[in-house]
Structure 1
Amino acid sequence: MNEVKRIEELRKLLEQYAIEYYVKDAPSVSDQEYDRLMQELIALENKHPEMKDPNSPSQRIIGAVLEGFEKVSHASQMLSLGNVFNREEIQDFVLRIQESVSNPEFVVECKYDGLAMALLYENGRFVRAVTRGDGFVGEDVSNNIRTIGSIPMYIDQLDPVEVRGEVYMPKKSFEELNQKQAEQGKPLFANPRNAAAGSIRQLDSSICAQRKLDAYWYYFQNASDFGIQTQEEALEAMEKLHFRVNPMRRVCRTTEQIWDFIQEIQKIRNTLPYEIDGMVIKLNSLADQQVLGSTAKAPRYATAYKFPAEEVQTRLKDITITVGRTGKITPNAVLEPVRVAGTTVSAASLHNEDMIAVKDLRIGDIVIVRKAGEIIPEVVSSVPSRRDGSQRPYHFPQSCPVCGSHLIRLEGEASHYCVNQDCPARVVESMIHFASRDAMDIDSLGDKKIEQLHDFGFLNSIEDIYYLKRHRQELLEKRGYQKKSVDHMLETIEDSKKQPLGVLLFGLGIRQVGKKAAMILAKHFGNMDALIQASQEELVAINDIGEITAQSILAFFKEEKNLHLIQVLKEQGLNMIQEKEEIRESRFTNKTVVLTGTLESYTRSEAKKILEAFGANVAGSVSKRTDLVIYGTAAGSKLEKARNLGVDLMSEEEFVQEVSHAQNN
């Protein structure tokens, strides 16, 4: 047979065998036979370079190295989904659809914890894979997508086809990857989603190939071009084109049917070979989907039910103490490693002495652990019924575990503090905080780098960061410090001097002064000197600055050491002023406003920025000082509390109208 024809025949055969193996789970040839054919194909392609094809099955394993990812605009926006959290909110969603659609059907599918992706095919060939990005523009990651065996490179459809879905890392691949990371002394990935995202963004696709990713496809973007009328038909059409589509789905008509199916999946969730964090509920009719349309961010015809936090039991092996930048003492649970919501958890913060007492935690206890918001590990409680007499009560320390200074607990506070400002732990933590992204954003000074520079003796206080340039030559003599990286570090330190006063105030780590309070103080006083000279009366008169915060600010500026630090930073050229922002007058000006519920027209962050631009103070909770509560869908306890307190209410629709009116004026 002609060798060129043999190359084409081998490509078709290997593509067919890959579909059988990865998609249908029904291989018709042995691994040895597949490998033999692959080696034959590679040899022939090497012999005939004119036959090079990036979609060839051989390219899944050979890989390529890129310099970067090209930005690509999506043909239509890739939307995110709104969330519901209980049966009542699902009922509200169904009722809202029924107001616009007669006898609607819904398709309920798994919500994968992965990375959203769009695939484009033309003339039956794979053309491009693009990440979701910001919904409008993503990155071309085609080289890495080609390494995923279940994704077809050729389909039996010559017209353009775009499908969307989720690339994920199977649980088995995740465990193997982290085992390899541990063996090589590298940091472990936090969860399969992070691992998948990191793998897809590898410039060397051979690394991505080693990570063994997979994907499910759930959206046929141009289904109507093929006369497809429903979501279920679209899923079936994608299956016929050999895309991997999850059979674990159901067409439902009522809230009861939707809820029953969700409960079925939730029971088997932990046995699945991949992570899911909820279920997606979509209107089945594509025509009705078009009628309902979308908001700026999410479709009105679909929503995601998020599973409640998973709770598991494990053993509390010990309680250790860490010292923060303000001297705050934090007890931490050392746990017997346990898998929770997709990751292995071995530690959790216990916050303070009172929390240990309230939860009745003893060393050796069996405890209940969950992830708050599916992210942060949390010890919920002990399980007294599992005690066998070996458990030991925990006695909170009286002295700092790092410097030995006596700990104090201020009246009205739950936490203990080390008040020794020269405590080594406080020194390092204060510098880490100062350089962090939310503060001065010196990205070249990470936690480990600061600890290392402290060990070298170059960094012993915040002001030393700006004297680091004096040690350039010494740094170049240190192992791992090359000229390019050292100069970049010194350049980013120099750039940080331009940060506004609000950022600097937050970076100084004044107790009780968070990012928001720092910006409020900076905007109010305008410069550092005015703030230093402020009285308690002036501070308390500012919205959101209470008695305790005011006392903490005054105490900070009474310390000679802190005044010296500010003077040094001035001399080093750091910015000590905050440019005044022009406040546009509106109904929101000088009002304390609380946002609650799900907003469809804006993200929470966008709404907050709009309100602040109109001179509002956006608070996180409702109180007697609240002037206005703006509510979206699924608003809960905050809305109820506002009604009980007689606080003015504004719907999202009214908010949008008010913003439009204020902007036009």
Structure 2
Amino acid sequence: MTAANTRILELRAELDQHNYRYHVLDEPSIPDAEYDRLFRELKALEAEHPELVTADSPTQRVGSTALSAFTQVRHEVPMLSLGNAFDDTDMREFDRRVSEGLDLPAGDLFGGGAEVEYSCEPKLDGLAVSLLYQDGYLVRGATRGDGTTGEDISVNVRTVRNIPLKLHGSGWPAVLEVRGEVFMSKAGFDRLNEAQLAAGGKTFANPRNAAAGSLRQLDSKITASRPLEFCCYGLGQVSEEFSDTHIGNLKQLQQWGMPISHELKLARGIADCLDYYRDIGERRASLPYEIDGVVFKVNSLASQRELGFRAREPRWAIAHKFPAMEELTELLDVEFQVGRTGAVTPVARLKPVKVAGVTVSNATLHNMDEVARLGLMIGDTVIIRRAGDVIPQVVQVVLERRPGDARPVHIPERCPVCGSHVERTQLVKRSKGRETISEGAVYRCVGRLACGAQLKQAIIHFVSRRAMDIEGLGEKSVEQLVDEGLVSSPADLYTLTFEQIVDLEGFAELSSKNLLQAIADSKRPALARFIYALGIPDVGEETAKVLARSLASLERVQRALPQVLTYLPDIGLEVAYEIHSFFSDAHNQQVIGQLLERGLELQDQGELGAEFAASTTLGGLIDKLHIPSVGPGGAQKLAEKFGSLQGVIEADWLDMRQALPEKQAKSVREFFDSPDNARAALAIEAQLRDFGMHWQSEKKTVEGLPLAGQTWVLTGSLELMSRDVAKARLESLGAKVSGSVSGKTHCVVAGPGAGSKLVKANELGLKVLDEEAFVAFLSQPGI
């Protein structure tokens, strides 16, 4: 080994040790000037001997060539969010649930019950990231994203000074995924904004935004110039466990070079947790970084596994948020924004003020009823709160400070975007044959898609990932297409040409071709996606799935009467009327027709869902007519007496009295004496018959799904199909797809790169399929 190589290795080891003492232990052993001298010496030696430069050298944190975009990373173990507690009661309720979930003895008159041990850590206000180490070397960094899929920011995380490029010591697992928060200290944030101002650049509103923006720079040299820090708070996938407690994990990670919170503590019981929360809350302003609460986790890993997860959060952890912070400021004006459904919403324009470390200049006012409730006038001094430390909100007017020239807030008569008339919505309450109309809290622009704001928002929703999933059409691109007159409805997307978009800002030859291909690829959507993409008021993803799964054709959904829709799960009468009204609108019909004419082929259409065939009864139909004074019991008596809807409609008074008391009989007779009521009732029955839902329709056998009651786990990378496709296929067969392996897991599908989940599956003796075996399983008859 040459002298230069020996000295380079010595310098790297010494600098790594100093980095560890400075960033992890907070015990620097040499002055900054001496560290800089050693760093310069190493840099000079590596410049003379470039063949000796390695990826884990302390000099390799300066960033590299800018990326054109981030690629996606799928988290092997989902990065779940935490449930929130806002007061002591919420925390005690969390502790109770944990104790019950672990079947611990409760307290009584003679003493307290068993106390759970919790780890306590401040909740840093930054960006959650995942760091993957293989054989001790950092190989990947990723953002949390939506919890399932994040962005690959490997180049950028390498520039964060206190993230080790190579783990210290030895004994680490071959695969180790470390999770934590990248944040910016208050001092670092102030330095960055001073530098931005000096350079004539844009300043950041708060340290969290600065950290998130810095970490997601496509040019990692910019990231390297920002004062970012990392703090580890847990693990993702690991090839082998190395401790039986959460704090034990963190302490071991610290030995391997990972920075952990200096405020990390063990609490014995909920009282200790609340004491920790109050203590750090009192010291919050003096901490060198922003925090928005405290995270408490059950310390025992075995107990964590026993408690498991809810749909989107672990049962063994909670974030105790700090109360919203409030400040006084002045209301300068109220402006009005127009949303996708035409709702005209007031927005407060405020004299900028810092609230909980964030400069606030706008706040939501929700609607004009809220303005009236607050008694708000332009020029007022108001109290601003960041609800949950996130959403700025006007909570109170300080009347004693109201100036003499304060002005009332008026809803505009004309839409501020398109000039169309603004109307107040009406609430229609339907009950027992009566409609009660009252004024709603929302004002709407009646311009619909002729209004640029509504059109833009409608198309942004239409192309979104969970709707038609047209990649390459972000908000700015949609705004351009609308402003240039190229798109006036969602259907116009399918007539766009290369020549029309290639010269638009942000587009070039390749991106234009990619967009046109993405639009073409979206022409075969699942029926549920298409229904959701239409943007029907009050119809979210789950309602769209119910409509698609139950009625199984767009034609049935379009024609369905409100009373027929209420036979479907979780669809009430008001939502049913919204759906019916949407599809009855001539303009909406035209747009849907154009979409189908321009090549959309809806998938998953077919016969009515088997469970809805012949699912109605005559008594149930009569009850849905909401005849005054007639409830389910009276409706059933009419059905039993007359046997058909036509028989009920035509029954005379004497026959009716044989089935019902006088008041109810009179009400039924008066109801059907109205030709409109009789026609409407017969129309509902005709549609039930047409759809196959009528009580005289053919009953279909509802077969059990072949994987019903089974829990499956997908791990590793799948190459023959995407993970989303595999999950959807399993769910369509009745299986539950879980992110963790347990004794209740029926089968694990393990692709290349499978880690700790596969190890655990083998330890538990579970059934394991590789991807080829999984595909073969799916192709079996009856599956």
Give the TM-score range, shorter chain.
Answer: 0.7 to 0.9
1:37 aligns with: 38
Structure 2 distance, partners of 1:137, 1:426, is 30
Using the aligned pairs only, state the percent identity.
Answer: 38
1:483 aligns with: 509
Cα distance change on mapping 1:547 and 1:446 into 2, 3 Å:
same
Offset, 1:534: 3.7
Structure 2 distance, partners of 1:540, 1:136, is 34
Structure 2 distance, partners of 1:388, 1:8, is 71
Structure 2 distance, partners of 1:569, 1:240, is 60
Offset, 1:340: 4.4
Offset, 1:180: 8.1
Following superposition of structure 1 onto structure 2, how do residues 599-614 of structure 1 map, counting pairs within 5 Å?
none
2:495 aligns with: 467
1:115 corresponds to which of 128, 149, 159: 128
Asked whether the equivalents of residues 219 and 234 of structure 1 are also in contact (C-alpha less than 8 Å), the reply is: yes
2:525 aligns with: 499
Structure 2 distance, partners of 1:269, 1:509, is 43
1:91 equivalent to 2:106? Answer no
Following superposition of structure 1 onto structure 2, how do residues 154-173 of structure 1 map, counting pairs within 5 Å?
157-160=169-172, 164-172=178-186, 173=188
Asked whether the equivalents of residues 328 and 382 of structure 2 are also in contact (C-alpha less than 8 Å), the reply is: yes
Structure 1 distance, partners of 2:411, 2:471, is 36
1:414 equivalent to 2:441? Answer yes
SS at match of 1:293: helix
Residues 441-480 of structure 1 show CA distances to partners (whole Å, capped at 9, x for unaligned) of 32322221122122322223333222212xx224334554
Q: Match for 1:451: what amino acid?
A: E
Asked whether the equivalents of residues 141 and 201 of structure 1 are also in contact (C-alpha less than 8 Å), the reply is: yes
Cα distance change on mapping 1:242 and 1:541 into 2, 3 Å:
closer
Offset, 1:301: 5.8
Structure 2 distance, partners of 1:160, 1:567, is 61
Q: Which runs of 5+ in 2 are unaligned?
A: 106-112, 428-439, 617-710, 713-727, 735-783
Offset, 1:45: 0.9
Cα distance change on mapping 1:235 and 1:152 into 2, 3 Å:
same
Asked whether the equivalents of residues 582 and 588 of structure 2 are also in contact (C-alpha less than 8 Å), the reply is: yes
Structure 1 distance, partners of 2:66, 2:182, is 22
1:278 aligns with: 293
Structure 2 distance, partners of 1:156, 1:577, is 54
2:482 corresponds to which of 435, 451, 454: 454
Following superposition of structure 1 onto structure 2, how do residues 588-607 of structure 1 map, counting pairs within 5 Å?
none
Asked whether the equivalents of residues 331 and 349 of structure 1 are also in contact (C-alpha less than 8 Å), the reply is: yes
Structure 1 distance, partners of 2:732, 2:581, is 32
2:49 aligns with: 48
Q: Match for 1:436: what amino acid?
A: S
Structure 1 distance, partners of 2:92, 2:344, is 45
2:459 aligns with: 431
Offset, 1:567: 2.4
1:530 equivalent to 2:542? Answer no
Asked whether the equivalents of residues 336 and 345 of structure 2 are also in contact (C-alpha less than 8 Å), the reply is: yes
Cα distance change on mapping 1:553 and 1:237 into 2, 3 Å:
closer
Asked whether the equivalents of residues 501 and 575 of structure 1 are also in contact (C-alpha less than 8 Å), the reply is: no
Q: Match for 1:414: what amino acid?
A: A
Structure 1 distance, partners of 2:569, 2:236, is 49
Q: Which runs of 5+ in 1 are unaligned?
A: 591-600, 603-608, 616-665
SS at match of 2:366: coil
Cα distance change on mapping 1:317 and 1:26 into 2, 3 Å:
farther
1:593 aligns with: none
Following superposition of structure 1 onto structure 2, how do residues 250-269 of structure 1 map, counting pairs within 5 Å?
250-269=265-284
Cα distance change on mapping 1:252 and 1:423 into 2, 3 Å:
closer
Residues 374-430 of structure 1 show CA distances to partners (whole Å, capped at 9, x for unaligned) of 544333333334435453321222222233333211322211122234333333333
Structure 1 distance, partners of 2:281, 2:47, is 50
2:469 aligns with: 441
Offset, 1:195: 5.8
SS at match of 1:411: strand
Offset, 1:321: 0.8
SS at match of 1:414: strand
Structure 1 distance, partners of 2:587, 2:316, is 59
Asked whether the equivalents of residues 24 and 254 of structure 2 are also in contact (C-alpha less than 8 Å), the reply is: no
SS at match of 2:394: strand
Offset, 1:233: 6.3
1:247 aligns with: 262
2:588 aligns with: 562
Cα distance change on mapping 1:251 and 1:399 into 2, 3 Å:
same
Offset, 1:44: 1.0
Cα distance change on mapping 1:481 and 1:83 into 2, 3 Å:
closer
1:211 corresponds to which of 186, 209, 226: 226
Structure 1 distance, partners of 2:56, 2:533, is 50
Offset, 1:58: 0.8
Offset, 1:354: 0.8
Structure 2 distance, partners of 1:492, 1:227, is 46
The TM-score, its normalising length taken from structure 1, stands at 0.73
1:653 aligns with: none
Asked whether the equivalents of residues 150 and 214 of structure 1 are also in contact (C-alpha less than 8 Å), the reply is: yes
1:61 aligns with: 62
1:22 equivalent to 2:20? Answer no
SS at match of 1:488: helix
Asked whether the equivalents of residues 330 and 351 of structure 1 are also in contact (C-alpha less than 8 Å), the reply is: yes
Offset, 1:319: 0.8
Offset, 1:198: 6.2
Cα distance change on mapping 1:558 and 1:310 into 2, 3 Å:
same
CA RMSD, 1 decimal: 4.6
Asked whether the equivalents of residues 584 and 614 of structure 1 are also in contact (C-alpha less than 8 Å), the reply is: no
2:715 aligns with: none
Residues 252-297 of structure 1 show CA distances to partners (whole Å, capped at 9, x for unaligned) of 334323212201212333443333333233455xxx5436634444
Asked whether the equivalents of residues 440 and 503 of structure 1 are also in contact (C-alpha less than 8 Å), the reply is: yes
Q: Match for 2:490: what amino acid?
A: I
1:402 corresponds to which of 394, 414, 417: 417
Structure 2 distance, partners of 1:560, 1:104, is 62
